[in-house]
Homo-oligomer: A and B are copies of this chain.
Amino acid sequence: MTLQMDTAALNAFLDREFAQVSRDFRVVSATAAQLKLRMTVSDQHLRPGGTVSGPTMFALADVAVYLAILSHIGPRALSVTTSCSIDFMRKPAAATPLIAEARILKLGRVLAVGDVLVFSEGHDAPVARASLTYSIPPAKP
């Protein structure tokens, strides 16, 4: 299967549509099987004790699966997250970027489902897992 958007196109989309967070996020690679998204961790993402906050990891998982869907269907800025299940499994390493590895499990006419593992860069054990569902708006004729 050919991707509709490659790494460069996805990063350009990120800069255009998610200007508030796009400094922190960068697509590292995108294939039909998996999209890798890297997140730079800065002070604003931390909870007391130096841990990356839950909402930050949620945001990373959400953007990673969102971009993985776009890589398959092309740029449609209006897809909406309808649900997320996330498990926080380990404390991320301090002052270390996070890597999200997302894959698409279903691309239906109205719903898409993907899941994602989040790692501290350079570590083998995932810090979080999440699965997300998106509502896909009808393609404009």
Contact = CB atoms under 8 A, between A and B. Distances in A.
Interface residues of A, number: 39
Given A106-B89, A115-B129, A84 B54 contact: yes
Contact of A81 (B59, B88, B105, B115): B88
Interface of A: 17, 20, 44, 48-49, 53-56, 58-59, 62, 77-78, 80-90, 105-106, 108, 110-111, 113, 115, 117, 125-126, 129, 131, 133, 135
Given A82-B133, A85-B131, A115-B129, 13 more contacts: A48-B77, A53-B59, A54-B58, A54-B59, A58-B84, A82-B89, A83-B88, A84-B86, A85-B85, A87-B131, A89-B113, A106-B125, A111-B135
